Amino acid sequence: MNIPVIAIDGPSASGKGTVAERVAATLGFHFLDSGALYRLTALSAMKHGVALDDEAGVAALAVKLPASFRDGAVWLAEENVTDAIRAEAVGDGASKVAALPAVRAALLDRQRAYRQAPGLVADGRDMGTVVFPDAVAKVFLTASAEARAERRYKQLIEKGNSANLAALVADMQARDARDTARAVAPLKPAADALLLDTTHMGIETAVQKVLAHYDLCKAHSKQGN
């Protein structure tokens, strides 16, 4: 299969979603926010009263998750859950269900189905390592926990929510620790990923660096063929 994939991984608020979406728009590629699938799975479990550590129960929900991305919104069946899945509690729940191997297995084919012509930009934790190991270009975004918590703080305040910066730093560190320590598909850069620290880097610069890296990788892979 030679439909190109650009895999963008990294911890929470490293900028991967914003960067991935802009890269996809620039190239006219499809876009996959894989974290949204884990968030939808957690939200679905919460709504169905399934415990977040009930591996078989959560995996059964993940297999038949009625998720769709349409009209710029995220849907769980006929319910618009675009804002609901962004709550910190759902992010925390997503990170819990994401540690369950049967849940990850249940979501694998669904993620790979987004690989459609002319190409895909996928963001998450394991896009370059597990889901699309043959991605033509892989990028791992990082930023300090403080910078990432400040970004989330700004997002919450801008939406009119109250927020506590110290609590956000603590939540961020707890989620990073859980995502990094888990046995299956832990958060770590692929061996062949470009590392980009965005602590002091604007979004547009990061986008340009990803596009330049893709051009370089594409040229290399053509030479190799």
Shortest Å distance, C-beta 225 to ligand CDP: 29
- Exactly one of 29, 38, 140, 214 binds ligand CDP (CB under 6 A); which one? 38
HEC readout, the chain: CCCCEEEEECCCCCCHHHHHHHHHHHHCCEEEEHHHHHHHHHHHHHHHCCCCCCHHHHHHHHHCCCEEEECCEEEECCEECCCHHHCHHHHHHHHHHCCCHHHHHHHHHHHHCCCCCCCEEEEECCHHHHHCCCCCEEEEEECCHHHHHHHHHHHHHHCCCCCCHHHHHHHHHHHHHHHHHCCCCCCCCCCCCEEEECCCCCHHHHHHHHHHHHHHHHHHHHHHC
d(CA 25, CA 31) in angstroms, rounded, equals 8
Residue whose CB is less far from ligand CDP, 183 or 223: 183
Task: Name residues whose C-beta falls within 8 Å of residue 133's C-beta, 6 or more positions apart in sequence.
Answer: 190
Tell me which stretch binds ligand CDP (CB under 6 A): 24-32, 52-60, 122-130, 208-216. 122-130
Q: Does 138 bind ligand CDP (CB under 6 A)?
A: no
Judged by CB under 6 A, the stretch of 7-15, 52-60, 61-69, 112-120 that binds ligand CDP is: 7-15
Q: Does 129 bind ligand CDP (CB under 6 A)?
A: no
Nearer to ligand CDP, 208 or 221 (CB): 208
* 178-193 exposure pattern, b = at least 16 Cβ within 10 A, e = fewer: bbeebeebebebbeeb
Mask for 169-208, x = binds ligand CDP (CB under 6 A): ------x---x------------------x--xxx--x--
What residue numbers does the annotated binding site for ATP cover?
A: 10-18
Single residue of 4, 57, 91, 128 touching ligand CDP by CB under 6 A: 91
* CB 138, min distance to ligand CDP, A: 13
Does the footprint of ligand CDP cover residue 119 (CB under 6 A)? no
Min dist CB 224 to ligand CDP, Å, is 27
**Residues 10, 57, 119, 128: which binds ligand CDP (CB under 6 A)?**
10
Contacts to ligand CDP by CB under 6 A: 10, 12-18, 34-35, 38-39, 91, 94-95, 98, 124-126, 151, 155, 175, 179, 198, 201-203, 206
